[in-house]
Structure 1
Amino acid sequence: MEKHIFILSGQSNMSGRGGVKNNQWDGIVPPQCLPNAAIHRFTADLKWISANEPLHVDIDTKAVCGVGPGMSFANAVIKDVMGQVGLIPCAVGGTAIEEWARDSDLYENMIKRSKAAAECGGKIRALLWYQGETNTSSQHYVDTYKQNMQGLIRNLRQDLNLPELPIIQVAIASGHEEYMEKIRDIQKAIDMNNVVCVDAKGLELTEDKMHLVTDACVELGQMLAHAFLTHFVSN
């Protein structure tokens, strides 16, 4: 049975803060995020196991992880693809795009994990990328964001030997107000083959005005699934 593999990467809103308050996760798992026998997660020690929330518990280890968009994405996609879904959690909270440059620990770990996952059997179908809040803190970050994001896409495709790998990027829903819209404009305007953007603006945020609440994570996951099925799955 074919395994459709998806890389989940970026920063905290991809790793998931839904249901986290006062450094504790409430443990509530919405029905759209429940485990499914056909959905698997690639662990930090490079093993496939049954996927369940929180997906990034052994990856984004310096923070408390909760619900993210990954499981609702997988449960939505599994209805329309034949086989299994494999998720490779790689996101780490608070990381700037510069920290995902080639030769960085974050980038090289993502490549290592992705190659190892595929070698276990399966095909990498897309990168789901949600990052940018950290880069809303200065004009310098704005000025270099497009170049860095395009470089990440080119490097990832080259290093995985997947020149047409679909990239589904999320336009951020939060950040420092002075520069947030500038980063969002860059994200929405990335013009590269097989790169599409899903807009998270308007989804409900937690009290910190930075992270998506659980229901918003569910909705975003379904939006990402719709984008993948619409743009990259033949009817």
Structure 2
Amino acid sequence: MEVSEARPAKKLFILSGQSNMAGRGGVDKHKRWDGIVPPECAPDAQKIFRLDANLRWEVARETLHHDIDTKKTCGVGPGMPFANAVKERVGAIGLVPCAVGGTAIKEWARGEHLYENMVKRAKAAVSGGDGGVITALLWYQGESDTSSQHDVDVYKQKMELLIHNVRADLDLPDLPVVQVALASGTQKKYVDEIRAIQLGIDLPNVVCVDAKGLQLKEDNLHLTTEAQVQLGHKLAQAFLTNFLTEKAHI
């Protein structure tokens, strides 16, 4: 992938969580990505950039998480359709991929590697750019917390603490967070309970979009390519509707 010669992006979006944020669209059961890039995920060398694993900016293109979620095969995720859907309203965009498949909420606690790496990458995205501003955190996680009642019981506290910690560590007390309510998980009973928690979180500048009903792959866990495009558009609509205001300084 080529490194962009353009000025670094202005509006920075953190993409974090687990596999459905990292993207498995187009990945078959043999763990091969089909390489199909929908037009909604097309690169834009003038407006959409990506912070790679070495903290360098490059033109963003699928697959966004290939050098971040390195233990699994990445495919299409919601990041590129989101960026293409909002770019005309917000201008140049910098995507900061941080999602890693199969990760539970406890692995995103302050002090844990995944959390600290996310904060490190977010700070690098600002310091390494030309006036870049962290504009929102897009979060899709929870499938790994649907295996027991204990996981359910602690999820709300851990998710709210994560939001508090990210805002504190980035010195952005009003950082917009767009969270996704699960479409799948390991046990349906607990999926419904985690979804209820996600949909019910009531914190300032936190909104939730619902992935339920989006098409799943044969594994009944990961979203298809088409569903990822639809999710990207849901995230974009939620962001534009709730946070594209003078108050949010977007």
Superposition pairs for residues 113-124 of structure 1, below 5 Å?
A: 113-121=121-129, 122-124=132-134
TM-aligned CA deviation for residue 44 of structure 1: 0.4
Normalised by the size of structure 1, how large is the TM-score?
0.98
In structure 2, C-alpha distance between the alignment counterparts of 1:219 and 1:124, rounded to whole Å: 24
- 1:79 is the counterpart of 2:83: no
Shift of 1:149: 0.1
Give 5+ residue unaligned stretches, structure 2. Answer: 1-6
1:108-153: per-residue Cα shift (whole Å, max 9, x none)?
0000000000112300000000000000000000000000000000
Q: Which SS does the other structure have where 1:45 is aligned? A: coil
1:203 to 214, 222, 233: 214
Structure-2 residue corresponding to 1:7: 14
2:240 paired with 1:229: yes
1:178 CA drift (Å): 2.1
State yes or no: 1:147 paired with 2:164. Answer: no
Question: SS of the counterpart of 1:219?
Answer: helix
Supply the AA of the counterpart residue of 1:69: P
Alignment map for 1:11-90 (pairs within 5 Å) = 11-21=18-28, 22-37=30-45, 38-81=47-90, 83-90=91-98
**Structure 2 Cα separation of the partners of residues 177 and 183 of structure 1:** 10
Query: Aligned residue pairs: how many?
Result: 234
Provide the residue aligned with 1:189 in structure 2.
Answer: 200
Per-residue displacement from partner, 1:13-62 (whole Å, max 9, x unpaired)? 00000000011000000000000021000000000100000000000000
RMSD between aligned residues: 0.9
**Quick one: which amino acid aligns to residue 81 of structure 2?**
S
Q: Which residue identity is paired with 1:194?
A: N
- 1:169 is matched with 179
Of 99, 103, 106, 1:95 maps to 103
Structure-1 separation of matches of 2:188 and 2:240: 33
In structure 1, what residue type is equivalent to 2:27? V
Offset at residue 80 of structure 1 (A): 1.2
- Paired residue for 2:120? 112
Aligned amino acid, residue 21 of structure 2: M
Measure, in 1, the Cα distance between the counterparts of 2:146 and 2:40.
Answer: 31
| Aligned counterparts of 1:116 and 1:179: Cα–Cα separation in 2 | 36
2 CA distance for matches of 1:25 and 1:155?
35
Q: Secondary structure at the match of 1:102?
A: coil
Distance 2:16 2:102 in 1: 12
Deviation at 1:234, TM superposition (A): 2.1
Unaligned runs of 5+ in 1: none
Q: Give, in whole Å, the separation in 2 of the partners of 1:85 and 1:56.
A: 16
Matches within 5 A, 1:204-219: 204-219=215-230
Aligned with 1:57: secondary structure? coil
